Amino acid sequence: MGPWSRVRVAKCQMLVTCFFILLLGLSVATMVTLTYFGAHFAVIRRASLEKNPYQAVHQWAFSAGLSLVGLLTLGAVLSAVATVKEAQGLMAGGFLCFSLAFCTQVQVVFWRLHSPTQVEDAMLDTYDLVYEQAMKGTSHVRRQELAAIQDVFLCCGKRSPFSRLGSTEADLCQGEEAAREDCLQGIRSFLRTHQQVASSLTSIGLALTVSALLLSSFLWFAIRCGCSLDRKGKYTLTPRSPGQKSR
């Protein structure tokens, strides 16, 4: 395969990769929106505690997701336009965006490996604080917040061996609510599904980002070396010698 054919194939691959990266960015944006505005996360985040353990983790995850969406979208748009117009500067900008997106995803993977249960622990700690204060009857607001959490997660109470308030469990879960699973298990089940989706998107994102980095670097060097496929209107006129006769 000649150099012109390799550049043509790389261009097609780059456009296809940019398309899938845009779809990935849309998927990540949807997940970030659901994480911030979704009822399951919002009801935990809005717990009016003096110190909500979940708020800091939630804010960090939202900021990281929003940054990743912006970098992926901007990188895909710049690289696609640079591929069509063969613009060296735009291709360099796309490469920079993909590099930052790759670093962000690596940081997320490292965080997941280093602290795999940080989000789960923060949500469970928040629920425990609301539950303990509601059961002690120190605040009517806590009972309302506890009821809201249980309605969203379709759970009731908790069956933890460390709970000292088991005697009031019967008053909390009556009727149909008594058949629900405990909220500790309900929160864990919900987060397990959410984290599986996040891990899948991160794996796909890393693969697409690495592919985009390789293609954008190759096309940048191809454009710099003049291996352009669009040569329309670019001619070199050689002056004719005085003694040469015209045909």
Domain assignment of residue 235, yes or no: no
pLDDT digits (tens, 9 = 90+) for 157-198: 776 555 544 545 556 666 565 557 788 889 999 999 999 999
- Report residue 140: phi and psi, to 5°: -70, -30
Q: Which residues pair with 181 in a beta bridge?
A: 155
Query: Hey, is 181 helix, strand or coil?
Result: strand
Q: Which residue range is the domain that position 16 belongs to?
A: 3-158+168-224
Domain assignment of residue 111, yes or no: yes
**Which residue spans within 48-170 are E strands per DSSP?**
none
User: Which phi-psi region, left, alpha or beta, contains residue 233 (left: φ > 0; alpha: ψ -120 to 50)?
Assistant: left
The number of angstroms, rounded, from the C-alpha of 217 to the middle of its chain's C-alpha atoms is: 24
Q: Which residues pair with 155 in a beta bridge?
A: 181
Distance separating alpha carbons of residues 68 and 26, to the nearest angstrom: 11
pLDDT digits (tens, 9 = 90+) for 24-68: 999 999 999 998 888 999 899 888 777 888 888 888 889 999 999
Domain assignment of residue 239, yes or no: no
Q: How many domains does the chain have?
A: 1
Give, in degrees to the nearest 5, the angle at Cα 233 between 227 and 234. 45
Domain assignment of residue 231, yes or no: no
Model pTM score: 0.80
User: Which phi-psi region, left, alpha or beta, contains residue 192 (left: φ > 0; alpha: ψ -120 to 50)?
Assistant: alpha
**Which residue spans within 39-173 are E strands per DSSP?**
none
- Give just the sign of the alpha carbon dihedral 212, 214, 216, 218: negative
pLDDT of amino acid 239: 61
* Tokens matching residue 142: 């806590």
pLDDT of amino acid 165: 43
Domain assignment of residue 59, yes or no: yes
Q: Which amino acid is at 237?
A: L
Domain assignment of residue 246, yes or no: no
